[in-house]
Amino acid sequence: MTKVFLKKKIQNRVLLGHPWIFGNEVGQVEGDVTAGDIVDVFTHTGMFVGRGYINPQSQILVRLLTRDRQEQVNDAFFLHRLRKAWEYRQKIGYVENCRLVFGEADELPALIIDKFNDYLVIQTLALGMDRWKPAIVAALEEIFSPKGIYERNDVPVRELEGLPQQKGFLSAPFDTNIILNENGLRFHVDIENGQKTGYFLDQQDNRRAIQHIVKGADVLEAFCYTGTFSCHAGHYGAKSVLGLDISEHAVATARRNAELNNLQDTCKFMAVNAFDQLKQWTKEDKKFDVVILDPPAFTKSRENIQKAITGYKEINLRGMKLLKPGGFLVTASCTNLVDPSLFLEIIDMAAKDAKKKLRQVTFMTQAQDHPILWNIENTTYLKFLIVEVQ
């Protein structure tokens, strides 16, 4: 087996548990290197570190799959890992809809699997993981006997690995428009064309957190996508809910979700640019009891981090100005490049500029089926904050 030796000076991050090994962390390679192959990794002194897959085309040269020298990477390895991931979700109470595999947090780097009741959606985001797709599908069939498996590999990050973007059935074809249950509500999910894997499971715990603050309230949700927070607000007793999203398709689905839950009289939606609408209503001094902001990631690269900070600050400042005194701001950020402390700092800056006082109600991360490993920073990505604004 090909051997990869780490440089002396920068191997501590890997030794402390991070599964990524960048090209500039490698001192030498012994043996042939074929993209996607399994290799053994050692310290500069020859101590075994782990076993993983290699891709010379990627900035992340090796992603480690195991640190047990006796553990071989084969079909049985993936069956064992997937069983382990499923057992963990069952232990913490996520059995119907959940992120079944959360990449590095489940010791399966670059693999995402979402479970929507009897359907599974898979993403293999690196060449080495993509090679094992048949074994992964076979394991999923054995564990779940699902009604269908679909791949959503239509993501640009695959191109950095020399992989094409693609999507399609990994099982017999099925109707990709399904309905799932969440917190007593039902939602349409478009597995084939919805964002990411079709639905944002990472907010399912946080959507429950608005339960008490929305009762009898006039609620605004900007960047509402398919209206999941809006429908929760209506379900929890809001007087009125208005959702904004730039996507006509998303708004159409949001309206269907409201109808599915008999909330069409309470929950209304508009296809508009949320930035522009917030700005306009600030000028008009329009007011709400609760403002919910759940925007898409404003940046996917460190080069644009300042742009993201500016964007988050602007929408939160406008959100605060649209609140009645004592109203609640519900705000989130889904980019791991904005860490929790920076996110809170941005909200604080927005409050100072808006001349508002904040009282924190709750500060949460992604749902528990997206576990966090403290030594792998990219497993902490979602920030969810509720504050009372005075």
Name the residues annotated as catalytic: 334
| Whether 299 contacts 305, CB under 8 Å | yes
Alpha-carbon span 113 to 150, nearest angstrom = 10
Alpha-carbon span 123 to 270, nearest angstrom = 32
In terms of Cα–Cα distance, which of 313, 271, 116 is closest to 196? 116
Alpha-carbon span 267 to 219, nearest angstrom = 9
Pairing of strands 383-389, 358-364: antiparallel
**Distant-in-sequence, close-in-space partners of 352: CB < 8 Å, separation ≥ 6:** none
Neighbour-count burial for 133-162, b at 16+ CB within 10 Å, e otherwise: bebbbebbeeebebebbbbbbeeeebeebe
| Whether 96 contacts 180, CB under 8 Å | yes
Alpha-carbon span 135 to 197, nearest angstrom = 20
| Whether 201 contacts 195, CB under 8 Å | no
DSSP string covering 305-363: HHHHHHHHHHHHHHHHHTEEEEEEEEEEE--TTS-HHHHHHHHHHHHHHHT--EEEEEE
**Distant-in-sequence, close-in-space partners of 50: CB < 8 Å, separation ≥ 6:** 19, 40, 41, 64, 65, 66, 67
Alpha-carbon span 268 to 314, nearest angstrom = 24
Alpha-carbon span 13 to 234, nearest angstrom = 46
In terms of Cα–Cα distance, which of 209, 211, 204, 168 is closest to 95? 204
